[in-house]
Amino acid sequence: MKATFTESIPLVRYGWLALGMLVTTHAALLAGGSTNRLASENKIAGNSGSSRAAYVGITLGKKAFAAMDVNGVVRDKNGQPLPGVNIIVKNSQKGTSTNADGAFSISVDSENDVLVFSFIGYKTQQFVVGNQKELAITLQEDTNVLDEVVVTALGITREKKSLGYATQQVTGEILNESPATNFVNNLSGKVAGVNISSAGGVGSSSRITIRGESSLSIMSNQPLFVIDGVPIGNDGTSNTGSADYGNSSSEINPADIESINVLKGPAAAALYGSRAARGAIVITTKKGSNRKGLGVSFNSYFFGESVGRLPKFQNDFGQGNNGKYEGSNFGASWSAYPGGDNDDYDESWGPRMNIGTTEAQFDSPTTNGFRGGDVAISNRGDIIRTPWVSQPDNIKDFFKTGSKYYNNLAFSGGNENGNYRLSLTSLNEKGVIPNNNLNRYQVNLNSSYHLTKKLTSSININYVKQNSTNRPDNGYGRNTFMYFFTWMGRNVNINSLRNYWQPGLEGVRQFQYNYGENHNNPFFLQYENTKGQNKDRIYGNIALEYAFTDHLKLKLRSAADLYNDFRPMQWAVSTVDVESGSYSFTEIKNEERNTDFLLTYTNAFANGNIGYTLSAGGNRFDNSGHSESTTAPQLLIPGIYTIQNAASPLTGYSSSYKKRINSIYGVANFNYKDLVYLDINARNDWSSTLPRNNNSYFYPSVGLNTNLKSILNLPKGISQAQLRGSWAQVGNDTGPYSIYNTYGNASPWANNYALVGPGSLLNPNLKPEITSTYEFGAAVGFFNNRLGLDVTYYDIRSKNQIISLPLVQSSGATSKQINAGQIRNTGVEIMINATPVSTANFKWNFNINWSHNTGKIVSLTSEVDKIVQAAPGEDASIQARVGEKMGAIWGPGYQRVADGPMKGEVIIFNDAFPRPTTEDIHLGNYNPDWIAGIYNQLTYKNISLNFAFGGQFGGEFVSRFFNKAAGAGQLEESALGRSARPAGTEYDAPYYIPGAAQMEDGSYKPNNTSTDGTYSAGVYGTNARNFIKKPLDHISEAQIFSSTYFKLRELSLGYSLPSKWISGKYIKNARISVTGRNLLLFTPKSNKHFDPEVATATSGGGLIPGFENMSTPSTREMGVSINLNF
């Protein structure tokens, strides 16, 4: 019998048992167990010192003794404290690092001990302790080194100057300066070439792309996420129905992040395989320290949250039609009352408000003490008319002030044999949407230990507990509150809907403002029709590293990412379209396992002039998932949400999948005198989702970087000058079960089981997608690297796209899978960093990121001229067409005059209205022309001010909210043509639509022109509603908005308490900050309604750009954070 994966690799099968044993061992040893023998074994030979090291005398001496604690502060030449400086006792493994104030404390055993201070961008320095207990250290800048070391593929640390491709790093300090619940959103504007969009709401999803899109499958363009060298899941089963449950990446705790390195192209990510074909987000987490004693840090922040930009509504006209009030459907079919006033319309085409009139409204009192809308009460009584006034804030007042309360407590420590860090985190967030919340609790343990002189073990384990009582629905439908707002009259007081049950019928009949059989009360939706979540997740890895010699080492690692996500959903009795109520639940289980090894050999030849590192490794990736759902379509007893309370037969479904990729890879890095660096990488994958004859794909990469500063002996004013280039190729597979056609279950026929053929014909001859990239770049630094410029050009070509090709209905199938199509992305990235001012008391740093990408469809297949990639809207869709750019939006436009003096004008036909084109036209593109971000850091003594601007230019999106709300008389545009008219004449004819009026003889003349106050001949309408609504309906061109925006993303003002204030206290440093996020938003005048960054549509697999489909508005935040170290 064929061995299973877990049977063939015991490390995976028993990995978590081993992990538990290692955790116990680490804890015991680091707590001070029997470590004498290990400590003796772990003594390392000291080196003779670096050519850059210097012994420096120290003042402030005190009496020496055999063992003591040495305290001090490390500063730069301007007297500024340097946080993060590494300090070790030479010839031992004792070490620590400086805190935010540059302070440190370390234990020494002898006055002859030597302390070694090292920091990136500064010369390493050594100091003899002597009898000094308090030190004042000044480090000198090293202009011969680049000031950045980055983590690359497989967790390998490299100097940035040695890389042949562009990469960009964001430190955890910058990331948490203005903390965000989802750290991905905090990358916006901080990394060139990265485009991020998100959905509104607590814990919602984010969509991130790097250097454009290289796949025709919109959901397959996101990068791989890697934590400490191990890939983790960012699965596409994020959404159930129309609710957004967030990405798995959003659950990564930002307080545990040391740094994030963005590997932008295939050359950078090739060693991670096909999953990194779109780039990789490489996260390095915080580690423990070898400091003596227990280190404790506490970080806390509290944010208040308010709704950001809302659409602009008109406040002149209320509910009704053609100037007459429509009376809230008081005569609904289930009502005891015959009829209200013209019970037909819920839109705002009624009489003018705020002129002293009264109407019988849904919240008007009745003679028997009820409300006008309490139509299910048999003795409701007669309605007492109330003032007919506008409610300008009725949408805004639905939202509340949200809150985020975040706490992180971390313990760290160790000894000469190892270290640990234990992090405990809680996040309690209440959104601006009523009854929308998220609670997340996390535990992280990161520990390493030298089991022997040659063998080191490490553990990184994370547990996440996440729950929510309600994840609101998105999109167009009666179960979403934004849908409700497209129709709700401008006279409706939203606060009157908060008591959402009719008296005496609590739990049975909801209270509605209008159209009892068409609209749900929005508060009823939020508090009764909930979609909850209860998710448990554990991810991490265990590793062993053995050093055979000083040159040769082997690393073995096993990692897992497991979660169980339970999602209960309920619909209360009296819900529109679900009158009897309903209950269902979905349970999703997912497992991802990675097991790998890496053998590395490092040495040099040619008298040490050529250094090299050779690595060889392999990986096995296994992914499996199971999802099942059960539904009670009707409830027997209202308010009891269990399967047992079903009044009709249950329905359900289940699905499962498995996937495996086996890989081997090799790496060769060469360094010639720090002048020329050469990287050669190769990897081969075998994927279970491709047919056997095509399941193997090989991809190589090569990169070169040259140090022109040293080669050409450039002037002192040029601190660095480099040229780099790379070429790489990456393969990509498809999803599970995409090659063989199988039958599925169908409804029984005559008590016999039935099977049905596949709707989509699969392809047993699929080939892997192949992406090739060329990249060239240059980096230049001036004035001791106080000014830096980095420019990159790239050319990415993807072929053998795996696409679903539509079929004619007569074929018996809807589509078939094929390999076809080629996409080419070209672009430029520019990064500028500068320190304009650096004095003893004041320092200013800033970074600018700018990027431009153009993605084009080079070819498709001869069988079709277009492929519809997504169609989440009513008429428009995202289409791929040869010669067009990726992200193109197509849909119906206005019919326009073809030629003549009025060429291009919208045709107004003899019915007084325009008409849509019979064929789709190109409307725009959701991809921007360019993206930019500016990040500033200003420090004056202990005060810091950080702020970030970011935005994009170009791009478009289609708005369904605008289409429906404007047509329903709600928006400012809806008042056009009636607001300026005198009272009583607002709805009088004629109504002219601007354009080219089509005359009886076929000629055209301008419509809606006037001479001396009279209208010239043309075509006109007599209905104000149709004047606005008709030009919008099924004409997507009228619903297009610009995606251009610029915003103040972050603003933070912080103060670090001086060391003298807390000297002698348990607190080593303290900092308090006031922070704001998304405080200002600037958009073109043509878009006054929406924040383009959240103008996305939610689907079952993630977010679809280019479509605002009843999107939840963005939010702005203000809060305070406290950071303490003990």
Beta bridge pairs of residue 241: none
Q: What mean pLDDT is predicted for residues 421-443?
A: 95
Query: Rounded to an integer, what distance in angstroms lies between the CA atom of residue 57 and that of residue 316?
Result: 80
pLDDT tens readout for residues 478-534:
889 999 999 999 999 999 999 999 999 999 999 988 755 678 999 999 999 999 999
Query: In this predicted structure, what is the pLDDT of residue 51?
Result: 34
Scanning the structure block, which residue is given the tokens 């007492």? 384
Segment among 950-964, 1008-1022, 1100-1114 with least mean pLDDT: 1008-1022
Query: In this predicted structure, what is the pLDDT of residue 1063?
Result: 67
| Residue 871 reports pLDDT greater than 90 | no
- All structural domains of the chain, each given as residue ranges with its CATH number in brackets, are 35-138 (2.60.40.1120), 149-288 (2.170.130.10)
Query: Rounded to an integer, what distance in angstroms lies between the CA atom of residue 632 and that of residue 647?
Result: 7
Identify residue 1052 by its one-letter amino acid code.
S
> Within 10 A of 383 (CB to CB), how many other CB atoms are there?
25
pLDDT tens readout for residues 28-40:
555 554 333 333 3
State the DSSP H helix or E strand holding residue 407, giving kind and residue range, or none if neither.
Answer: strand 402-415
Q: What mean pLDDT is predicted for residues 415-428?
A: 91
Maximum distance among all Cα pairs of the chain, rounded to whole angstroms: 110
| Residue 260 reports pLDDT greater than 60 | yes
> Within 10 A of 900 (CB to CB), how many other CB atoms are there?
11
Q: Which of 28, 126, 34, 196 lies closest to 1049 in space, CA to CA?
A: 196
Q: Which of 966, 930, 934, 960 lies closest to 1044 in space, CA to CA?
A: 930
From residue 238, how far is each of 245, 471, 535 by CA, in Å? Answer: 5, 12, 12
**Residue 42: band (very low, low, confident or very high) from pLDDT cuts 50, 70, 90:** very low
| Residue 552 reports pLDDT greater than 80 | yes
Read off the tokens for 174: 């910058």
**What sign has the CA pseudo-torsion 898, 901, 905, 907?**
negative
| Cα within 13 Å of Cα(114), Cβ side | 16
Q: Which of 574, 577, 581 lies closest to 640 in space, CA to CA?
A: 581
State the DSSP H helix or E strand holding residue 1123, giving kind and residue range, or none if neither.
Answer: strand 1115-1125
On whether the CB atoms of residues 988 and 907 are closer than 8 A, the answer is no
Q: Which of 1118, 1121, 1122 lies closest to 402 in space, CA to CA?
A: 1118
State the DSSP H helix or E strand holding residue 175, giving kind and residue range, or none if neither.
Answer: helix 172-175
Buried b (16+ CB within 10 A) or exposed e, 603-642: eeeeeeeebebbbebbbbbbbbbebebbbbbbbeebeebe
Scanning the structure block, which residue is given the tokens 């003018």? 352
| Cα within 13 Å of Cα(110), Cβ side | 7
Query: In this predicted structure, what is the pLDDT of residue 873?
Result: 75
The pair phi, psi for residue 64, each rounded to 5°, is -90, 150
The pair phi, psi for residue 992, each rounded to 5°, is -105, 135
What is residue 941's three-state secondary structure?
coil
pLDDT tens readout for residues 166-205:
888 888 888 888 878 888 888 988 999 999 888 877 888 8
Q: Which of 363, 431, 426, 376 lies closest to 402 in space, CA to CA?
A: 431
pLDDT tens readout for residues 905-946:
999 998 889 999 999 999 999 999 999 999 999 999 889 999
The pair phi, psi for residue 1050, each rounded to 5°, is -140, 145
Q: How much is the mean pLDDT over the chain?
A: 85
Query: Rounded to an integer, what distance in angstroms lies between the CA atom of residue 537 and that of residue 227?
Result: 15
Residues making up the chain, counted from first to last: 1126
Name which residue leads in pLDDT, 531 or 107: 531
Alpha helices in 679-825 (DSSP H): 708-711
On whether the CB atoms of residues 539 and 232 are closer than 8 A, the answer is yes
Query: In this predicted structure, what is the pLDDT of residue 1017?
Result: 57
The secondary structure of residue 1044, as a DSSP letter, is -
Query: In this predicted structure, what is the pLDDT of residue 61?
Result: 36
C-alpha R_g of the chain: 33
Q: Which of 843, 862, 852, 875 lies closest to 941 in space, CA to CA?
A: 843
pLDDT tens readout for residues 451-469:
998 999 999 999 999 999 9
Q: Which of 1029, 875, 1010, 1004 lies closest to 349 in space, CA to CA?
A: 1029
Query: Rounded to an integer, what distance in angstroms lies between the CA atom of residue 815 and that of residue 806?
Result: 4
Q: What mean pLDDT is predicted for residues 156-172?
A: 81
Query: In this predicted structure, what is the pLDDT of residue 1074?
Result: 96
> Cα 885 to chain center, whole Å?
24
The pair phi, psi for residue 149, each rounded to 5°, is -115, 135
Q: What mean pLDDT is predicted for residues 92-110?
A: 78
Query: Rounded to an integer, what distance in angstroms lies between the CA atom of residue 453 and that of residue 455?
Result: 6
Q: Which of 766, 626, 644 lies closest to 693 in space, CA to CA?
A: 766
- Residues 27-34: contacts with CB under 8 Å, at least 24 apart: 27/420, 29/417, 29/418, 29/449, 30/413, 30/414, 30/415, 30/417, 30/418, 30/419, 30/420, 30/447, 30/449, 32/415
Query: Which residues contact residue 939 at a Cβ distance below 8 angstroms, ignoring those fewer than 6 apart?
Result: 80, 842, 843, 844, 945
**Residue 393: band (very low, low, confident or very high) from pLDDT cuts 50, 70, 90:** very high
Query: In this predicted structure, what is the pLDDT of residue 288?
Result: 83
Q: What is the dihedral angle through the alpha carbons of 190, 192, 194, 195, rounded to the nearest 10 degrees? A: 80
Query: In this predicted structure, what is the pLDDT of residue 674?
Result: 87
| Residue 563 reports pLDDT greater than 90 | yes
Torsion region of 918: left, alpha or beta (phi above 0 gives left; psi -120 to 50 gives alpha): alpha
Percent above pLDDT 70 for the chain: 88
On whether the CB atoms of residues 573 and 635 are closer than 8 A, the answer is yes
Segment among 132-136, 526-530, 893-897 with least mean pLDDT: 132-136
Query: In this predicted structure, what is the pLDDT of residue 28?
Result: 52
Show the CA angle centred on residue 242, arms to residues 238 and 247, nearest 5°.
Answer: 20
From residue 926, how far is each of 226, 767, 855, 1043, 1103 by CA, in Å? Answer: 28, 29, 12, 7, 13
**Prior bond to 633 cis, omega within 30?**
no
Task: Classify residue 863 as exposed, middle or buried by CB count within 10 Å of its CB (0-12, 13-18, 19+).
Answer: exposed
Scanning the structure block, which residue is given the tokens 């200013």? 844
Read off the tokens for 861: 């297949």
Query: Rounded to an integer, what distance in angstroms lies between the CA atom of residue 377 and that of residue 364?
Result: 15
Q: What mean pLDDT is predicted for residues 843-859?
A: 94
| Residue 735 reports pLDDT greater than 50 | yes
What is residue 147's three-state secondary structure?
coil
The secondary structure of residue 250, as a DSSP letter, is G
**What sign has the CA pseudo-torsion 328, 332, 337, 338?**
positive
- Residues 807-814: contacts with CB under 8 Å, at least 24 apart: 807/761, 812/757, 813/757, 813/758, 813/759, 813/760, 813/761, 814/759, 814/760
On whether the CB atoms of residues 679 and 667 are closer than 8 A, the answer is yes
Query: Which residues contact residue 1104 at a Cβ distance below 8 angstroms, ignoring those fewer than 6 apart?
Result: 218, 870, 872, 878, 1096, 1097, 1098
Q: Which of 800, 802, 804 lies closest to 758 in space, CA to CA?
A: 804
| Residue 370 reports pLDDT greater than 80 | yes
